[in-house]
Amino acid sequence: MITIQKDTPINVEIIQRSSARAFPGSESLLRDLAARSSDVWQGLADGRVGCIWGLIPPTILSQTAWLWMLYDPELVEENKFFLVRNSQRFIEYALTLYPEIVGQVDPHSRMSVKWLKWLGAEFGPIQDDKMYFVIRKK
């Protein structure tokens, strides 16, 4: 069974199944991202966290928020149609809160770039091995 949960306790097990496992301090970074986020969601497949994401506005009155996400590539691949459908619903909701959603992505992560394209992201140039994006209200 697949579910999306909002504002639940952060399950750091996702780190070991994601690209973040290679980075020292990734657990404290994940906790920091969650603490700074206005909302945090987790996608679960049969009780296992497949992805976790959130929005970080720079200030309370911001019209822009920074989108972050961490995911388990295997679980996401197994459930990609559910993820795409619910991601599109999430972005529609997020754009009612913030007219612009911004972030950065590893340009070599084809799955991440493809997901962002489905969400309507426009990409900027690659800088310091990161590609910046913006998703705007249409």
- For the domain 2-136, what is the CATH code? 3.40.630.30
Calculate the alpha carbon distances from 31 to 3, 17, 89, 105 in Å: 21, 16, 25, 19
Domain spans in the chain, listed from the N-terminal domain onward? 2-136
Instruction: Tell me the average pLDDT across 83-90.
Output: 82
Instruction: Tell me the average pLDDT across 120-125.
Output: 95
138 vs 107, more confident: 107
Q: In which order are the strands placed within the sheet that holds 100-105?
A: 2-6, 39-45, 48-56, 64-71, 100-105, 130-136, 122-127
| pLDDT at residue 9 greater than cutoff 80 | no
What is the chain's length? 138
Q: Where is mean pLDDT largest: 5-9, 45-49, 60-64?
A: 60-64
Token pair, residue 85, equals 């459908």
Instruction: Tell me the average pLDDT across 69-77.
Output: 86
